[in-house]
Structure 1
């Protein structure tokens, strides 16, 4: 695309291009040149919308964190057994782009430093997902669907860590639904209970 041509929704197009580069080539290939070439625009377009490339990357990660609201809604509306709902949520959470985004965050110290403004501890995206799961587990405990003594602040990071290990190999096949369900069941152990109270 010629330098003088405006592109609509530039931020979204640049984010989508960055995600394609991440999926195809991995975090080490993610450069401003790779993103703008993938988006089909001049390099200056990125710098018109973001102070620098680290700012762009931080906003890219934050856009993934913002999508966790969809996962919250999914869990809140689910009537499935707790383990089934959590297994489905883990599968949705660890889509290929999210797995690549976590690898990006882990591989770039400067990016993690930049993200400390909004994620003071832990690995950004995983930390927010862990909090989401803890909140959901606490709600399920209130409903009587998990044991009243269940430690949701221990269960949540264990579930997120288990999910990440299951889906971390972005080049191999994703685990099937039954594998994820068995892993969630093993983490929950005897904590899960019967149907939800009305």
Structure 2
């Protein structure tokens, strides 16, 4: 079976086929990172593109992400033994005043699948709690989500407080009402318009934070 089978299994929400396909790739000696990047993550990129085009909707994205997680569980024991496993630590949550979590949950799944250690704080999170969690977990990135336009001022306040705290963590925002323009306006370090794109943005933020040799 090829990587295309992994893609098709995720698009068909076929957990049994996905598990079989990933296991066959492992048995064949395929590099774990190739299975992750060219199989699971690439499949979710396709899912994200279909969502953007209106070919699928949020429920399908959630099911696809949950299907992908089945394949990821097979890789995790092997990834843990790999010193390069963790791409960084990300604290994520929906800001104070917003109880929506579907988008945040999708992003958490994608980041987890992308090799990041994800600390999901949940919803309705006070600015101070983001800062506290980032300090306790030595986070590289703090991810803020909002679905309500009324929560955007709180998102701005949270970004400002994080910057004033002098934490080394980068700020990364997203959500239905959030735009690149708003991200730049409030001084956030990163923005993604959808869940699959979050992995690429997070990797870029981590890479830019690394010391130049």
- Higher normalized contact order (CA 8 Å, seq sep 6+, divided by chain length): 1
Q: Which has more helix, going by share of residues?
A: 1
- Which one has a bigger Cα radius of gyration? 1
| TM-score for both structures, normalised by structure 1 | 0.34
| TM-score for both structures, normalised by structure 2 | 0.33
Q: Which has more strand, going by share of residues?
A: 2
